[in-house]
Structure 1
Amino acid sequence: MTANGRSKRTIIIGGAPLPDMLDEAMIRLVVHGFYDEIRRDDLLGPVFHDAIQPEAWPRHLAKMCDFWSATLLRTSRYEGRPLPPHLAISGLGVAHFRRWLKLFRATVHRIC
């Protein structure tokens, strides 16, 4: 592990190495910024409000940072299975997923 929290291995995504600016701090900015948008969104906000109690948000955000750290930086910090909790939420559909993707992309473009 390097000083910026990256694996010493070069990580290739889409045929190109990840940019040096991608580190734990960047992941935290994206995750927190994204979920700020989610919580304000008229479609997704109520879903997340019902699924995550206010006192559970810090733990959820930390878990999402761990997930993206493990996925992008290969830190092995995330333990869990991300799909089952989402499948347990009734009423989720294609519109929710499309909005999630739209907000995620917008957050990444805004911050990165």
Structure 2
Amino acid sequence: MSELTQPPQPATRSLLADSGATITEENIHRLVHGFYDAVREDGLLGPVFAREIAPEAWPVHLSKMCDFWSSVLLRTSRYDGRPLPPHLRMPDLADTHFARWLSLFRATADAVFAPADANRVVALAERIGTSFRLSIALHRGEDTMKVTPLPRA
């Protein structure tokens, strides 16, 4: 078969990625596991996650988060869930938590990905964080006009 008559091959790269992409399943696994290792050790976020996720539930959570980020970054459609509702049930979740989450996420992404890909991944995380913060404010009956993007640390 000539190149023109061969059936198209499915895309295996993210729409975000370029020819030198470091956004791979292996690196997504490194991102998720490295990030949550840092979260669990963190003085602000560690207690929140310890309260919300039982020790025996961590393998399932990590697998679900790998699926989530694979779906977001590589368009794999592996994630089948709703990430917002658990966050809506946490009355003490505040911007300080999201700022720390983004700081740890950014540091991990910078360690895992090439700089251009790390910036792309972090930009998506920032948008997700802002979306969650807006939804939480709306759910709590707060003024959503006061929710602005968090400054980069």
Whether the 8 Å CA contact 1:33–1:107 is kept in 2: the answer is yes
Partner of 1:108: 109
Amino acid at match of 1:107: T
Q: Structure 1 residues 88 and 8 mapped into 2: Cα distance closer, same or farther (>3 Å)? A: same
Q: Structure 1 residues 33 and 93 mapped into 2: Cα distance closer, same or farther (>3 Å)? A: same
Stretch of structure 1 that moved more, 17-26 or 97-106 = 17-26
Partner of 2:15: 12
Whether the 8 Å CA contact 1:34–1:103 is kept in 2: the answer is yes
Whether the 8 Å CA contact 1:69–1:77 is kept in 2: the answer is yes
Identity, in percent, stands at: 56
Partner of 1:33: 34
Q: List gaps (5 residues or longer) in structure 1.
A: 1-6
Larger Rg: 2
Runs of at least 4 residues off by over 2 Å: 9-13, 16-21
Q: Could you say what the CA RMSD is over the residues aligned between the two structures, in angstroms?
A: 1.7
Provide, for residues 11-33 of structure 1, a one-character-per-residue CA deviation record: whole Å limited to 9, x for no partner: 333xx637432111100000000
Whether the 8 Å CA contact 1:12–1:18 is kept in 2: the answer is no
Q: Structure 1 residues 52 and 110 mapped into 2: Cα distance closer, same or farther (>3 Å)? A: same
How many residue pairs end up in the alignment?
104
TM-score, normalised by the number of residues in structure 1 = 0.85
Q: Structure 1 residues 28 and 9 mapped into 2: Cα distance closer, same or farther (>3 Å)? A: closer
Larger RCO (alpha carbons 8 Å, 6+ apart): 1
Q: Structure 1 residues 56 and 18 mapped into 2: Cα distance closer, same or farther (>3 Å)? A: farther
Partner of 1:66: 67
TM-score, normalised by the number of residues in structure 2 = 0.63
Q: List gaps (5 residues or longer) in structure 2.
A: 1-9, 114-153
